[in-house]
Amino acid sequence: MEKESLLGANFADLERKFTSIGLTKLDAKRVLPWIHVKCVSSFDAMTDVPQKVRSLLKENFFLERPRCCNLQKSSDGTQKALLEFSDGHQIETVFIPDEKRNTACLSTQVGCAMGCKFCHTGRQSFERNLRCDEIMAQVFFWKDRLPTLTELQYPHLLNLVFMGMGEPLLNVANLFQALELLLDEKNHNFSRNKVTVSTSGIVENDLLQMAKFGIKLAISLHAPDDIKRNELMPINKKYNIAMLLDVAKEYLSRSNTEHVTFEYLLLSGINDSDDDACRLAKLLSGIRGKVNLITFNSWNDSTFSGCSRARADAFLSILLSKGIRTIIRKSRGNDIAAACGQLKTTIK
């Protein structure tokens, strides 16, 4: 029998798996915090677990992190890791250090089926969803590395953003199980307001189900009207802007979060005019939202170009003058293609 990873296991999973090999509920209770609080990567480190139990665990399960095939470091301290799973598929995950917070950017799928025109990941075909243990493995990977990152001013992992490869809301079962482990105070204990899931706008019931976690929602809007959004993001033909905004309002009322973030990528000559800004402001008026203006991170063969800083500032001023909370988001890790939308791997 092939060994199974325990990196995505919650208490109920452990109990079920353990009893099937003759271990007890008490064993599960002892082992769980070693996995998700102390984050050890070997059963031998579990000093209060009897030797005999450890041997059985080693025979049936594993805690090893996926192989890191490539680790790149940007001049701004951002790091990008290429992780390979046992079937040979690879994903990227990014660590973004900051003075007061460190952020991990997590992938949820190998490739992406959404085909957004400006996104490098969207140019690859969709291969498969990541399992819960594979999503969690990215968190473990960065947590393991924290002690070696001596240059960090703040030595903890505080923020998680599901903004890596893939569309999180097309992998909800695994996403939700990972969120439970990450937010549970008896396990990883991340704060709800430090975890953000970004979606291209899958307006299914699952999005509203996610409100129960009380985490932050980011919506990749990128256009002030359906005609432009249809061009950039094919998903808009299925779930248009009006549907998206309705669900954003409903999410706010159910989740008790302060605001929804609208991500807006400024593409020169496409969606960055004064008129676009005015229409965007009109669209979002009355919604507890915040706009993050994103500069385009270019990649080979992309037909888009980012707008100038002056244009971005003008766009920002219009939104602010109309009472829309807006910031221009700092792009990180651009020199190692670790910024949003640049993640890409060679898929087998």
What residue 333 binds from ligand SAH, ligand SF4, none (CB within 5 to 8 A, per partner kind)?
Answer: none
Q: x/- site string to ligand SF4, residues 247 to 276, per CB under 6 A?
A: ------------------------------
Residue in the shown chain whose Cβ atom is closest to ligand SAH: 341
Of the residues 32, 96, 104, 116, which one makes contact with ligand SF4 according to CB under 6 A: 116
Tell me whether residue 92 is one of the annotated catalytic residues: yes
Check binding of 167 to ligand SAH (CB under 6 A): yes
Round to whole Å and give the CA distance between 153 and 143: 15
Pairing of strands 109-110, 79-84: unpaired
DSSP sequence for 108-119? -EES-SS--TT-
Question: In 3-state terms, the chain is what percent helix, strand and coil (to 5)?
Answer: 40, 20, 45
* Binding of ligand SAH by 106 (CB under 6 A): no
Helices 11-20, 25-36: inter-axial angle, 10-degree rounding = 130
Does residue 291 bind ligand SAH (CB under 6 A)? no
Q: Which of 5, 142, 341, 345 binds ligand SAH (CB under 6 A)?
A: 341
Asked whether 259 and 290 are in contact (CB, 8 A), the reply is yes
Binding site partner of 296, from ligand SAH, ligand SF4, none, Cβ cut-off 5-8 A by kind: ligand SAH
| Of positions 294, 307, 319, 324, contacts ligand SAH by CB under 6 A | 294
Which listed range, 83-91, 109-117, 173-181, 305-313, lies at the site for ligand SF4 (CB under 6 A)?
Answer: 109-117
User: Distance between CA 331 and CA 292 in Å, rounded?
Assistant: 11
The encoded tokens of residue 318 equal 């219009």
C-beta closer to ligand SF4: residue 110 or 319: 110
Q: What distance in Å separates the CA atoms of residue 178 and residue 49, rounded to the nearest whole number?
A: 25
Query: Binders of ligand SF4 among 204-233, rule CB under 6 A?
Result: 220
Cβ distance to ligand SF4 smaller for residue 20 or 346:
346
340 is catalytic: yes
Closest among 281, 285, 279, 309 to 296, alpha carbons compared? 309
CA angle at residue 250 from 247 to 254, to 5 degrees? Answer: 135
Distance CA 84, CA 68 (A): 6
User: DSSP secondary-structure letter at 153?
Assistant: S
Please report whether residue 338 would count as binding ligand SF4 according to CB under 6 A.
Answer: no
Q: Is 230 helix (H, G, I), strand (E, B) or coil?
A: helix
* Binding-site partner at residue 174 among ligand SF4, ligand SAH, none, CB < 5 to 8 Å by type: none
Looking at the DSSP bridge assignments, the partners of residue 159 are 103
Among 23, 172, 223, 265, contact with ligand SAH (rule: CB under 6 A) = 265
Which residues of the chain form contacts with ligand SAH (CB under 6 A)? 118-119, 163, 167, 198-200, 220, 263, 265, 294, 296-297, 340-341
Which residues of the chain form contacts with ligand SF4 (CB under 6 A)? 112, 114-116, 119, 121-122, 166-167, 200, 220
